[in-house]
Structure 1
Amino acid sequence: MSNSPLRPDTLMPLFNPQSVAILGASSDPARIGGRPLSMLKELGYQGKIYPINPRHSEVQGLPAVPSIADVDGPVDIAIIAVPGPAVIDAVQQCADKGVKAVVIFSSGFAEVDEEGKESQQALTKIAETTGMRIVGPNCIGLASVLHRFVASFSTALSDGISAPGRIGIVSQSGAFGSYCFVLAKEKQIGISYFLTTGNSCDVDISDGIAFMAEDEHTDVIMTYMEGTTNREKFIAALELAQKKNKTVVMLKVGSSDVGAQAAASHTASLVGSDDVYDSILTQYNVYRARNLNELFEIAHAASSNRFPAGNKLGLITVSGGAGILMADVGEELGMDVAPLPTATQKKLKELLPFAGVANPVDVTAQLLNDMSLLPKNLDIMLDEGGYDVIICCFLHVGHQKALVEEIHASMLGVQEKHPDALLMVSLLGPHEIRQKFEASGMMVFEDPTSAVRAAAALYRFGEGRKQVGQPEPLPKLPASVEPVKPTAQINEFEAKRILHSAGIRVAEEKIVTAADQAAAAASAMGYPVVMKIVSPDIQHKSEIGGVVVGIHNDAEAVDAYNQIMSNAKTKEPNAAIDGVLVAEMIQGGIETIIGVNRDPVFGQIIMVGLGGIFVEILGDVSLQRAPFGNETAKKMLQSLKGYPLLAGARGQAPADIDAL
């Protein structure tokens, strides 16, 4: 992959070319070299097409050209459909011709072996030295629905393309990406652009996100991602999308060890910690979908560009069971499924005495007999309940045309009276019913829990957009802070000394190298004390018996020192030992852990959590890429499940959050 900065404008020749050359063009529309030409003709592409084939004078009814150099005129994009060994020469010929961009279908590069990796690096060098953009190798290609242009051999596109829309697709996997393209067509979801990046020798997922972030025809960027090898470029792309108020919905795979290994072999991507990816995506307001259905549901909902002002969620249902299900998911996702005021519940009871009126409001099947109940309930809930979002669950009623027409008319009237409220619908029915509701600004979902997830996602997107353009001030280090050499290997005692110089309070402690020194140091600082081995080679001290706590006198200090040294020499005979650390034993308070880890993709990551079982068993931690400021640090603490302990649960005094 090229290390070049983001240059979204240089991708325009890929998606709106005025001319295209196909190297390896075939007269057989079923072959890889023939399929793109056949599709371009069927789509009615208006630009110039140059089939490159030295053995034929005509290909699929168009005049063939012996080589790219023989083309009379400029070429915006070239499609490379030649065998792997011929790819580098073909790409170089395109660069010599002044072609602006190429798409390489051929495989057998970095995803295979070292020789393939070297060949791919040669392609990257051509891109870097000439400025010509390269998509692939090992990719299925791309499509521009807006401009009726296809540079792909995928059969997924051979049956036509979807209607133009405001959702772009970027995928590192060609087959999966083309599957998404077909699925969008079947769901009648409009697409602007479709890009598969394959091995990403130059154009990668970040370039695709950046291009669509800048594009005026795209509002939502739907992404399939395995990993990245250029964190700065990836983060810059997410920042650009955030700045341009473009919604990014991502299916990031490789969360398991097996999945991570598969991703590395598939497109030669680097897969870092999945928890770190979660943190980065959350930081840049990216929604991480957990499955394909969620990817489409959230992207489609976001394309409405309607984001609720708050998270207060009202529910109306004809099924008590569905209402409970929605309420459970709403609470789980942090939505405020607050009950209606008591006086309001009385009003609803007067309308329908046997209804459930707290929230969810269960109007039962009686709604189908008296449709006037729907607008009355909605108006009251919006006027007196203060809900930002209301989801109406009608189950299979969408198949009853007369009823669903009444429902639509009733809800449309309410929507017009309450334009700021987000009304959503869950029902089964034909596609034209869904289109009718959505044309009126009301999103439709088959699964009621999908509607709740979409509402929560839209609220989060809206909140995230409020933070754009508000850089957080970073805390300043005191002038007295002790410098650290980048290559220095420091032990625990030295690390704490450096932290102390930065203004962080640490326990009194001392390194000793003899038993009598241990007793003297412990006596001087006052019992009880803790003792532990100090070695750069021993990371997990307690596992080798290198830690003793609760030492109360000199004799115990001598015994502890001797035992620690004996355990270390027996279990880690090759470890370099600096001595034993004697430290005052801090009692009371709430045990907290703060750590730094260098992620292979994103660099320095800060971790915070409550100690003990909260970290070791429950995994209750928060991660953030450094650097960041105090407000982000507070949000990290507040995100912990154990945060109530810090805030002062059950009458306990709150911890010093500012100090932490």
Structure 2
Amino acid sequence: MTTTAPEQHPQGGGEALGKLLYPRSIAVIGASDNPAKLSGRPLAYMKRFGFAGRILPINPTRSHVQGLPAYRSIDDVEGDIDLAMIMLSAERTADAVRHCGRRGIPVAIVGASGFAELGAEGVALQRRLRTAIEESGVRVLGPNCLGMIAVRDRAMPTFSSALDEDVPLAEGPVAFLSQSGAFGAFVFSESQNLGIGISHYLNTGNEVDLSVAELLDGLVRTDQTQVVLAYLEGVSDGRRLLDAARHAYEQDKPIIAVKVGRSAAGATAAQSHTASLAGDDAVFDGVARQHGIVRVDGPEQMLDAAQIFATGRRLRGRRLTTLSVSGGAGALAADAAAAHGVEVRSWDETWQAKMAAVIPAYGSARNPIDLTGTLVAEPDILRRSLQVALQHPETDMIAVLLGCADSQSAELIDAIATANSSTDRPIAVVWTGGSGRPRQRLRELGIPCYTDPGRAAAALGRLADFSLRPALPRPQRPAGIDATAARNVLVQARAAGRVQLDEYQSTRLVAAYGVPCAASRPAATADEAVTAAKELGGAVAVKLLSDRIGHKSDMDGVRLGLVDPDSVREAAVDLLRIAREAHVEDARLLVQSMAAAGTELFVGVKRDPVFGPVVVVGLGGVLVEALADSQVASAPVDVDTARRLLLSLRGSRLFGRLRGKPPRDLDAAAEAVARLSWLAADLSDDLAELDVNPLLLGDQAHGVVAVDALAVLSSAAAWAATAADRP
């Protein structure tokens, strides 16, 4: 077994991360002579699987442990120690980390539980461990983690039961990170059963130091890792995760993630719509999609995707040709493909004739291509049809649908393997029924194989989405932004002790970022409202104006389409009465020019506690939350990204030509969203949330106009904590 070449160490990941991923010497502190005990398993695994580096048992009471020379202390070991696995109780762990620091060990794995996951006493122990890490400079994986399995070098500082059986380990380009030890062990074990080549499996546990984000970044920077699988229960370092995802995106290395928490149980609604539309999971979903993270719903989908991505092949288009032993299977595959954005187009007559020449006369050469059951008796039909499919210029990928046929499997597999080796186009096989041995053999050959057309279609759809993703931009700041004017509005409001801004102040923020706003005038009395309406001219709206009112429509605080002084006065008097009865003593009025009718959009910004500033877009109006049609992205975004967000809404057909009406000005909407995303980025320390609802979207003659806005300030404590960083 050869040891790791230096160039495999993560570039920019630091010496400690390189020593963790590619150790040449591993000390097990607290090593047991009993290979069945948790503290004895790491030695047993490394001996059994053949770790080529130095295995250093540390046990103060034994001269040998499991047949290996043991040391009373790490101080007794000559030479460098790359990695320590600390298998001591939680109470003794912090002192052991400090000892590692004095010995010059750069990184340690802490396997013990009994830390923050167990309550107050454990929290105190974890705090002690955190202090020891800071004082010693030792990087730590864990605590409460199963450790690491590095397949290529057979470095096994782990006590995971995934290695209990003598399963042949499959080495390959896929790395796997899991915050859950048990889940991770299950997925690693199944990956080996499926023949998916793994480079590393790491369980991060409580993440007192090394996080999934940092490890992911380090793995992506190695040549060995081409695909990363991740199981996430929470994200503590969102911006670092996005930086790592950006690097992976640019290096064409997919991240396939299971993230629990899709339910709304953790989302807390505030006065702003943004809080309810951009709950924790919605933000993760949006920023993950934006940065090319392939999100899946569970381990089966994760491993299905891993099979197809591990081939390293990419798609030039979404067109699928299916070759099937059964017409029914072909139809099922076509339906599944459509559901995942994959196109099964009928071949033109010229190419149908070419296919018809090599398949039975009673088959179908249209696509899906039915090779018929004759294939079982004449396996060479598959070889010939694959040759034609690979020559077909409008085939981007191929699915071969087979079943049972164990006795003919060798010839069929050979035909598929020959075709696969002659092309760079993805080939996936669905082999249903039978002994399962053909599937195993295909996977050994690096050919993705599934039991169900739907699973194959989903994997191919994810490959298509990733392959055809747009370049990840680095947004350029738009011209015409007056950030100083916007900050002055916030400073004045905070000096006045306000928690949120009224509509007039909120629209001043929006206007400072170059987003058109409906002309408006504040008024304290009915007479002032009449004067303001006259100055504005035309039809106006009269609204209650107060920083204590979140949604004016909830208290009947809006009057629309007023065209004469009497109607304005009547509305003003009535609204002021409503305010007095609701005990809104400081209420004034806002008189606003009526905007032309248009499609109502919602644009919100917020500072997410994990990922920082984000922008939310959706269909707006009073039904914004009921429609729940929104998309989220990390801010700032460029205009092209903003356009894609708008077009990904379920209701995006409203932007087109409907019932004789001209299409909406999508360019103007995308420009407004991009500008508001810069507001999110610039003012994220001062603003908790900002809603623009509705942002009216008209045709090209009318563009967009913000009709209402609501800004909520960040808490005084949060604002004070970031004061030094603000310009």
Cα RMSD of the aligned pairs, angstroms, is 3.1
**Aligned residue for 1:514?**
525
| TM-score, normalised by the number of residues in structure 1 | 0.88
> d(CA) in 2 for partners of 1:66 and 1:210?
36
For residue 450 of structure 1, what is the aligned residue in structure 2?
A: 455
Task: Indicate the residue corresponding to 1:87 in structure 2.
Answer: 93
| AA of the residue aligned to 2:545 | V
Equivalent residue, structure 1, for 2:599:
590
Distance (whole Å) between structure 2 residues aligned to residue 144 and residue 416 of structure 1: 29
3-state SS of paired residue (1:221)? strand
Q: Alpha-carbon deviation of 1:224? A: 0.6
Cα displacement (A) at 1:338:
2.4
- CA deviations on 1:59-95 (whole Å, 9 max, x unpaired) are 3334443333344443222222222222211211111
Distance 1:453 1:614 in 2: 33
Report the CA distance between 1:292 and its aligned residue.
Answer: 0.9
In the other structure, the counterpart of 2:466 is 461
1:389 — aligned with what?
A: 397
Map 1:519-598 to 2 at 5 A.
Answer: 519-571=530-582, 573=583, 577-598=586-607
Corresponding position of 2:176: 169
Give the conservation status (yes or no) of the 8 Å contact 1:308–1:422.
yes
Distance in 2 between the 1:44 and 1:440 partners?
25
Q: What is the letter of the counterpart of residue 396 of structure 2?
A: D
- Structure 2 CA distance for partners of 1:69 and 1:536, relative to 1, 3 Å: farther
- Counterpart of 2:694 in structure 1 is none
Residue number in structure 1 paired with 2:5: none
TM alignment of 1:19-58, pairs within 5 A: 19-58=25-64
User: Is 502-511 or 12-21 further displaced after alignment?
Assistant: 12-21
2:662 aligned to which of 640, 653, 659: 653
Pick from 10, 20, 23: which aligns with 2:16? 10
- More displaced stretch, 380-389 vs 445-454: 380-389
Runs (5+) with no aligned partner, structure 2: 1-10, 269-277, 495-499, 670-727
CA–CA distance in structure 2, aligned partners of residues 216 and 326 of structure 1: 35
CA displacement at 1:640 relative to structure 2: 2.1
Shift, 1:277, TM fit: 1.1
Match of 1:264 in 2: none
CA distance in 2, matches of 1:451, 1:286: 19
- In the alignment, the residues of structure 1 paired with residue 56 and residue 382 of structure 2 have an alpha-carbon distance, to the nearest angstrom, of 61
CA 538–70 in structure 1, closer or farther in 2 if over 3 Å, else same: farther
What does 1:620-631 align with in structure 2 at a 5 Å threshold? Answer: 620-631=629-640
Question: Equivalent of 2:328, from 321, 332, 354?
Answer: 321
**CA deviation vs aligned residue, 1:569-615 (integer Å, no higher than 9, x gap):** 445x4x67452222122232222222212212112111122324884
Query: Which SS does the other structure have where 2:109 is aligned?
Result: strand
Of 362, 366, 369, the match for 1:361: 369
Q: In the alignment, what sits opposite 1:640?
A: 649
Aligned match of 2:202: 195
Superposition pairs for residues 198-209 of structure 1, below 5 Å?
198-209=205-216
Alpha carbons 1:340, 1:385 under 8 Å: kept: no
| Secondary structure of 1:169's aligned partner | strand
**Post-superposition CA distance 1:531-579 (Å, at most 9, x none):** 33223333222223223334444444334334434444445x4x67452
Contact 1:591 1:612 in 2 (8 A): yes
**Paired residues of 1:142 and 1:195 also in contact (CA < 8 A):** yes
Return closer, same or farther for 1:91/1:347 CA change in 2, 3 Å cut-off: closer
Cα separation, 2, equivalents of 1:367 and 1:577: 82
Q: For the Cα contact (< 8 Å) 1:23–1:53, is it kept in 2?
A: yes
Q: Given that residues 171 and 177 in structure 1 are in contact (C-alpha distance below 8 angstroms), is that contact kept between their aligned partners in structure 2?
A: yes
Secondary structure, counterpart of 2:485 in structure 1: coil
Q: In structure 1, how many angstroms separate the alpha carbons of the residues matched to 2:333 and 2:622?
A: 32
Q: 1:259 to 1:145 in 2, by over 3 A?
A: farther
Distance 1:377-1:596 versus aligned 2 partners, 3 A rule: same
The equivalences for 1:153-302 within 5 A come to 153-160=159-166, 162-258=169-265, 273-302=280-309
So what's the TM-score if we normalise by structure 2? 0.80
Matched to 2:528, the amino acid is Q
- Given candidates 474, 478, 499, the residue that maps to 1:475 is 478
> Runs of 4+ in structure 1 displaced over 6 angstroms?
none
Match of 1:107 in 2: 113
Deviation at 1:293, TM superposition (A): 0.4
Post-superposition CA distance 1:143-195 (Å, at most 9, x none): 11111121122222233562322211111111111111211222232211110
2:125 equivalent to 1:119: yes
Long gaps (5+) in structure 1: 262-270
Corresponding residue for residue 272 of structure 2: none
Could you tell me how far 1:442 is from its partner in structure 2?
4.0
**2:150 is the counterpart of 1:144:** yes
**Alignment partner of 1:151: what SS?**
coil
- Which is further off, 196-205 or 471-480? 471-480
Cα distance in 2 for residues equivalent to 1:99 and 1:347: 66
